[in-house]
């Protein structure tokens, strides 16, 4: 029996007609049970096939968006060409032949040594803080009391991005790392270009280099370090405050401070890199007693070093960057850029200070007007002091204080300008007729050397800011096309039609991808780009990966376009688009999306996105409250336009085609007889008003949790601080949540009689126990952070750290693994209930409790699992925000159900607003410094794949994951199995997921457009570029979760499970 006959029999059976009519086909005499079994098998096979096709189709859209982001990033994120030239003694411009001024060099980097950490600060100042001011006094005291010019202390200005690896590159090469280099902060590789450490290694006098500390040095300079005596330490475990510092101190005692060591004189260069100050900042922030303890430890260590070096040793103490008020870094705020440079030698008159001492070295007002130098200036400075060749790519200028007289200063400047001029001529930065090149030549001929260096530096900054506009245009175009497809295929065309179209899309996409890859690669093989400057595909440069990505994108675009235009005209699609916005709530959703996307047109709006998104979500709550209270009789526009009334008429069916038409009509009626029908009953209005008010209150409450951007200035008061996170009040609220959250979730389940079966075990058992263990973990952590006298050992020999790791791993293992296995194998949230028959008291009437919300209640248990796994990796205040998010999610689901807006895009948009609000209220901003690196060490004391990466991922994108999974609940919530067939149910889930993807795609496209428009804006790398990177990451992560978790795994599995239970009946 074919599918058509089965569908005919199904429709006849459902409408009370006898399928055993007189006809030629004997199969129609089958028993109803056999027919039902055949129908089930056929529907199950059809659903599985359609499910696979849908997954591949949505995945192809996600691939197209990934390719668009890749092309845009290729064109926008700046890179620079690195010259492999090495400055050598054979360099004709070299005039260094003298004996080195020093015999040994000791270099100590104190990570995040902000300048106002080392200068005296008036204790009566309003901004004075005893935790980080006036604790490191040895550097300034040595500088001030040095009557023989044996030391110099300067403000050391870093170039953004202020991440450690990029600062080490700048400190050793003298170049300016571009923005894209910040992404490689945790993927270090050996620096191949010429650098200071390589020059030390190539010089026979300095080539014995000992190192101890941050293992970033080992990654960048391993071939040049003495591996026998080097001791690198893990650098990214920000919860470990002492291991690296204690290792550096011990090492320096062994080879420098301890005079009895036999090996103390063997080294020529000793380098140490301490991390304690930086890690305290990341873990606690600068305003913490631990910062004072760490600074006092460093101060004492510096005193020991100064007292230990001999007369022929140069000591260099410096920071690589500063830190902001939260203890983080990576951006370009003043506190992040201002670091410290201190040079000291016991030889008299080693340095020459400015004559106007009081003005140049003025420490008033936190050293605001103190003399400053750029970090790239360290490279020529140390090269000249140590009689080394200046690294070939260096753009720095020697510090004036290192010259002992004007003649030596002039010699140093001559050497430096020769190196700069050689670099310019070799690199061919400018053409001979370029005005900037002519200006540089003029400055060089007039011996205006410092002006020459300043101008060359500006030229390099400008040249390294060149964008690939073709790649940018391709990225924007591909992303716009993906947006158009999402709107058409998930919102404009009915789901029943998409079920058929998807069978045409997928095979054609696969074929076209294969064919176009062959064509493009064949084009490059026959007509190589090098043969013609006018090659139409020269922008791909014949590169395998980019060619494959481009051809794949074209294949996806054509594979969807051809069947689509075969069924619908462009005119019809345009008219349907305007009809789509005929509904009130669709227009509201469109306004929210458009306003959010237009925020990126202004840097002022972008930096206040956290407040604006919260306002949008509150506005949604107010609009729904207004509808419930004041417009009880509104008829939904969608219901008026698309409501279908099917009159139940008995008719004799003699034609199978006519039977198909009737079956389709009955199917439509069965799915939703009165879609979006209103008005609401009085009880529904009261319940809806309660949900709206609760949504408004929760949104306003979580909006008080803030982490401020540097650009917000005094207008923002941060509440997401160390003191607040671990205060007794927050710990008390976490304790209350153990009882409150399960009770509130239970209440929502009971509204639909869904607190049955697995629900009590999950909500009252698993969730409550999880919250209790989570409270114990964070309570112990809070004691460790806030109580200075907290003992490392709680009871006999029990180590607190071991106990905490055991707790965190138990929580993560339960929520990530055990709970999800339980969800896969556990029962549904239904029970069989028996009640007395109203007509016959002796007869019991059976009913399925929880039937009306069987999909939604079961799916929400999976959401609870994800919720628990994300809570583990968030700080206490962020956990309170996520607790509120769970309730906000439930209120939105109830509001959408009461208004019958399951198919309206307002549902996905409301969840999208919830996602972004929760991102900001969990202690994040669209900036690099707001990344909570310490959450990567919840499960492991060191960087361990994948434990560290899981922690960072769930902490940063937790709200995105929850919303991307929960979007299916817009369809599942209060959806009984008897209303929609499985194919239609799956199509509606895809439609809801498409609505969320549309929202994120619009934001990503807007960020593309405006970051390109503001590419020369002063704030492009500080505001617009980080926001575009965040929008791109949000879109990709949302699509990944939607495709592989929401649609492929959870929805498909749940629909099949309920199919097995009910569709056979």
CA distance 88 to 86: 6
Q: Which residue has the tokens 């600068």?
A: 286
How would you classify the pairing of strands 231-233 and 269-274? Answer: unpaired
Three-state DSSP class for 1043?
Answer: helix
pLDDT for residue 968: 97
CA distance 955 to 935: 7
Low-confidence stretches of the chain (pLDDT beneath 50): 1, 13, 15-18, 20-28, 90-97, 182-188, 261-263, 530-532, 636-677, 793
pLDDT for residue 180: 56
DSSP state of 703: T
User: pLDDT (tens digit, 9 = 90+) per residue, 748-763?
Assistant: 999 988 999 999 999 9
CA distance 1039 to 893: 21
Report residue 10 CA to chain centroid gap. Answer: 50
Alpha-carbon dihedral 939, 941, 944, 947, rounded to 10 degrees: 10
Instruction: Give the closest residue to 876 by CA, choosing from 916, 914, 812, 921.
Output: 921
- The backbone torsions φ and ψ at residue 793, rounded to the nearest 5 degrees and listed phi first, read -105, 120
CB 469 within 8 A of CB 64: no
DSSP state of 651: -
Instruction: Give the closest residue to 930 by CA, choosing from 794, 804, 1029, 1036.
Output: 1029
CA geometry: angle 831, 836, 837, nearest 5 deg = 110
Three-state DSSP class for 803?
Answer: helix
pLDDT for residue 980: 84
Alpha-carbon dihedral 480, 486, 488, 489, rounded to 10 degrees: 150
DSSP state of 793: B
Instruction: Give the closest residue to 702 by CA, choosing from 575, 881, 937, 538.
Output: 881
Q: Which residue has the tokens 């209303």?
A: 979
The residue length of the chain stands at 1065
Task: Give me 689's structure tokens.
Answer: 């008003």
Report residue 795 CA to chain centroid gap. Answer: 40
pLDDT for residue 430: 77
- The backbone torsions φ and ψ at residue 343, rounded to the nearest 5 degrees and listed phi first, read -120, 135
Task: Give me 755's structure tokens.
Answer: 């607190």
pLDDT for residue 843: 61
Task: Give me 1049's structure tokens.
Answer: 């795994």
| Cβ neighbour number for residue 945 with a 10 Å cutoff | 8
CA distance 571 to 360: 71
For each of the domains in the chain, give its residue range(s) and CATH number, in order of start: 104-427 (3.40.720.10), 585-1063 (no CATH)
Three-state DSSP class for 232?
Answer: strand
CB 213 within 8 A of CB 273: yes
CA distance 721 to 324: 13
The partner residues of 793 in beta bridges, in order of sequence, read 799
Instruction: Give the closest residue to 899 by CA, choosing from 1000, 974, 833.
Output: 974
Run of H or E including 377: none
Task: Give me 99's structure tokens.
Answer: 């004996």
CB 779 within 8 A of CB 737: no
User: pLDDT (tens digit, 9 = 90+) per residue, 1045-1056?
Assistant: 999 999 999 999
DSSP states of 73-119: HHHHS---PPP-----TT-TT----SPPS-SEEEEEEETT--GGGTS
pLDDT for residue 837: 63
How many CA atoms lie less than 13 Å away from 817 in the CB half-sphere? 6
Instruction: Give the closest residue to 80 by CA, choosing from 203, 193, 158.
Output: 193
Instruction: Give the closest residue to 991 by CA, choosing from 975, 967, 1012.
Output: 967
Task: Give me 888's structure tokens.
Answer: 């906000």
| Cβ neighbour number for residue 629 with a 10 Å cutoff | 13
């Amino acid at each position: 029996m074919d599918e058509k006959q089965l569908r005919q029999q199904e429709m006849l059976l459902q409408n009370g007609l006898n399928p055993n009519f007189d006809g030629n086909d004997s199969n129609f005499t089958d028993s109803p049970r056999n027919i039902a079994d055949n129908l089930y098998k056929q529907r199950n096979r059809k659903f599985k096939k359609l499910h696979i096709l849908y997954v591949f189709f949505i995945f192809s859209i996600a691939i197209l968006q990934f390719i668009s982001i890749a092309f845009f990033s290729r064109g926008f994120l700046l890179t620079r060409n690195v010259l492999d030239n090495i400055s050598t003694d054979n360099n004709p411009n070299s005039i260094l032949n003298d004996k080195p001024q020093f015999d040994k060099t000791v270099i100590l980097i104190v990570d995040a040594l902000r300048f106002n950490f080392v200068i005296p600060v008036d204790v009566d100042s309003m901004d004075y803080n005893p935790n980080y001011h006036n604790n490191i006094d040895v550097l300034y005291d040595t500088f001030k009391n040095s009557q023989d010019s044996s030391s110099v202390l300067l403000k050391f200005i870093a170039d953004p991005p202020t991440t450690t690896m990029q600062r080490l590159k700048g400190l050793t090469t003298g170049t300016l790392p571009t923005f894209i280099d910040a992404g490689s902060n945790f993927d270090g590789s050996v620096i191949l270009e010429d650098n200071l450490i390589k020059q030390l290694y190539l010089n026979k006098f300095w080539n014995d280099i000992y190192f101890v500390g941050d293992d970033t040095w080992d990654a960048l300079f391993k071939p040049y370090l003495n591996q026998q005596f080097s001791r690198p330490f893990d650098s990214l475990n920000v919860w470990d405050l002492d291991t690296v510092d204690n290792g550096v101190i011990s090492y320096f005692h062994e080879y420098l401070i301890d005079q009895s060591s036999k090996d103390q004189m063997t080294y020529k260069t000793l380098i140490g890199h301490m991390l304690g100050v930086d890690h305290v900042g990341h873990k606690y922030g600068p305003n913490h007693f631990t910062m004072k303890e760490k600074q006092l430890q460093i101060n004492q260590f510096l005193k020991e070093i100064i007292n230990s070096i001999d007369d022929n040793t140069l000591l260099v103490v410096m920071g690589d960057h500063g830190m902001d008020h939260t203890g983080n870094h990576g951006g370009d705020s003043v506190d992040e850029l201002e670091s410290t440079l201190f040079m000291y030698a016991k030889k008299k008159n080693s340095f020459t200070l400015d004559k106007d001492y009081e003005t140049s070295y003025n420490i008033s007002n936190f050293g605001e007007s103190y003399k400053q130098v750029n970090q790239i200036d360290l490279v020529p400075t140390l090269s000249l002091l140590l009689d080394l060749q200046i690294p070939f790519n260096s753009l720095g200028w020697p510090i004036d204080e290192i010259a002992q007289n004007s003649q030596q200063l002039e010699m140093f400047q001559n050497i430096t300008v020769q190196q700069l001029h050689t670099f310019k001529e070799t690199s061919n930065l400018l053409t001979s007729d370029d005005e900037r090149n002519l200006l540089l030549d003029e400055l060089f001929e007039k011996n205006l050397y410092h002006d020459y260096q300043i101008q060359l530096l500006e030229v390099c900054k400008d040249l390294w800011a060149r964008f690939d506009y073709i790649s940018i245009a391709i990225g924007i175009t591909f992303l716009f096309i993906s947006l158009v497809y999402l709107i058409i295929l998930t919102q404009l065309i009915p789901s029943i039609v998409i079920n058929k179209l998807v069978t045409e899309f997928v095979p054609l996409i696969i074929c076209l991808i294969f064919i176009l890859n062959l064509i493009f690669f064949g084009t490059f093989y026959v007509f190589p780009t090098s043969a013609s400057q006018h090659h139409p595909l020269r922008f791909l440069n014949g590169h395998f990966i980019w060619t494959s990505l481009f051809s794949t994108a074209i294949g996806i675009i054509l594979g969807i376009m051809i069947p689509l235009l075969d069924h619908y005209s462009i005119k019809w699609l345009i008219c349907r688009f305007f009809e789509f916005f005929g509904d009130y709530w669709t227009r509201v959703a469109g306004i929210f999306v458009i306003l959010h996307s237009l925020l990126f047109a202004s840097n002022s709006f972008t930096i206040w996105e956290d407040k604006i998104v919260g306002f949008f979500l509150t506005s949604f709550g107010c609009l729904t409250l207004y509808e419930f209270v004041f417009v009880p009789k509104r008829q939904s526009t969608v219901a008026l336009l698309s409501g279908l009334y099917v009159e139940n008429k008995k008719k004799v069916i003699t034609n199978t085609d006519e039977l198909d038409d009737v079956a389709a009509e009955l199917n439509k009626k069965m799915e939703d007889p009165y879609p979006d029908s209103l008005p609401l009953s009085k009880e529904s209005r009261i319940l809806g008003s309660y949900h709206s008010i609760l949504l408004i209150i929760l949104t306003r409450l979580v909006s008080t949790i803030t982490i401020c951007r540097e650009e917000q200035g005094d207008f923002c008061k941060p509440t997401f601080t160390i003191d607040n996170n671990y205060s007794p009040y927050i710990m008390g609220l976490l304790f209350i949540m153990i009882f409150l959250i399960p009770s509130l979730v239970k209440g929502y389940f009971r509204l639909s009689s869904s607190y049955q079966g697995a629900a009590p075990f999950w909500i009252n058992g698993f969730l409550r126990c999880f919250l209790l263990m989570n409270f114990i973990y964070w309570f112990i952590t809070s004691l460790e952070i806030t109580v200075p006298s907290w003992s490392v050992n709680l009871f006999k020999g029990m180590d607190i750290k071991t106990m905490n790791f055991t707790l965190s791993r138990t929580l993560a293992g339960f929520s990530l693994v055990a709970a999800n296995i339980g969800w896969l194998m556990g029962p549904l949230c239904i029970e069989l209930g028996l009640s007395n028959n109203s007509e016959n008291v002796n007869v019991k009437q059976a009913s399925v409790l929880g039937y009306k919300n069987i999909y939604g209640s079961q799916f929400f248990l999976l959401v609870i699992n994800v919720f628990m796994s994300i809570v583990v990796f968030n700080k206490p205040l962020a956990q309170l925000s996520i607790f509120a998010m769970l309730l906000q999610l439930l209120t939105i689901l109830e509001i959408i159900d009461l208004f019958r807006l399951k198919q309206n895009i307002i549902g996905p948009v409301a969840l999208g607003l919830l996602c972004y609000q929760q991102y900001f209220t969990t202690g994040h901003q669209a900036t690099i410094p707001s990344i909570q690196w310490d959450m990567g060490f919840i499960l492991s004391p060191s960087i361990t794949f994948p434990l560290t990466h899981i922690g960072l991922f769930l902490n940063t994108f937790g709200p995105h994951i929850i919303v991307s999974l929960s979007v299916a609940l817009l369809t599942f919530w209060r959806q009984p199995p008897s209303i929609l067939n499985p194919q239609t149910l799956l199509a509606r889930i895809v439609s809801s997921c498409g609505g969320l993807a549309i929202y994120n795609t619009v934001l990503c496209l807007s960020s593309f457009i405006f970051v390109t428009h503001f590419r020369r804006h002063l704030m492009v790398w500080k505001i617009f570029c980080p926001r575009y990177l965040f929008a791109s990451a949000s879109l990709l992560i949302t699509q990944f979760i939607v495709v592989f978790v929401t649609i492929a795994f959870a929805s498909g599995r749940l629909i099949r499970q309920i199919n097995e239970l009910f569709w056979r009946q």
